[in-house]
Amino acid sequence: MANTSTKRTVARGKKFQLQPRLRIRFSEAVAFGPGKADLLELILQTGSIRQAAQKMEMSYMRAWSLVREMNRHFREPVIVAERGGRNRGGTQLTATGRRIIGLYRRMEQSSLKAAGPDWNKMQKLLRG
């Protein structure tokens, strides 16, 4: 799986890294989380569900299934097909899709920053 969120959100310690993996749960289901965030971001970057799926080493079917889950949990669709439909055209994030990514990445950053003081203490307990 592509590790774009890791690259962004990891606080580098000596060798240890803190990763805030935020999950939005809907009873047992995960409505949104690190995997779906990476997928949306890759669709934004590539303009293609197929290419995003490839980069995450998941099947096209799986990527579509994740997109459908997001569309079910959010009020508005997260992507829209452009120019020529699903087969020939590209795929763009909707305003809602872009907003979700922005909020999620900022929540990760806020989490990481807030955990910082205790993370420094924790690192002293870890082997150096």
SS3 5: helix
DSSP state at residue 10: P
Answer for which of 39, 69, 75, 89 binds a second copy (CB under 8 A) is 75
Q: Which is nearer to a second copy, 27 or 87 (CB)?
A: 27
Answer for which of 46, 89, 96, 98 binds a second copy (CB under 8 A) is 96
- Asked if residues 43 and 93 have their Cβ atoms less than 8 Å apart, the reply is yes
Question: Taking CB under 8 A as the rule, does residue 106 contact a second copy?
Answer: yes
Answer for which of 2, 8, 16, 90 binds a second copy (CB under 8 A) is 16
89-100 residues labelled b (16+ CB within 10 A) or e (exposed): ebbebeebbeeb
* 118/128 Cα distance (integer angstroms): 16
Binding mask 51-70 for a second copy (x = CB under 8 A): --------------------
* 16/102 Cα distance (integer angstroms): 26
> Phi then psi for 32, rounded to 5 degrees?
-155, 145
Answer for which of 64, 73, 80, 90 binds a second copy (CB under 8 A) is 73
Answer for which of 5, 20, 42, 66 binds a second copy (CB under 8 A) is 20
Binding site for a second copy (CB under 8 A): 10, 15-27, 31, 72-76, 96, 99-100, 103-104, 106-107, 110-115, 118-119, 121-122, 125-128
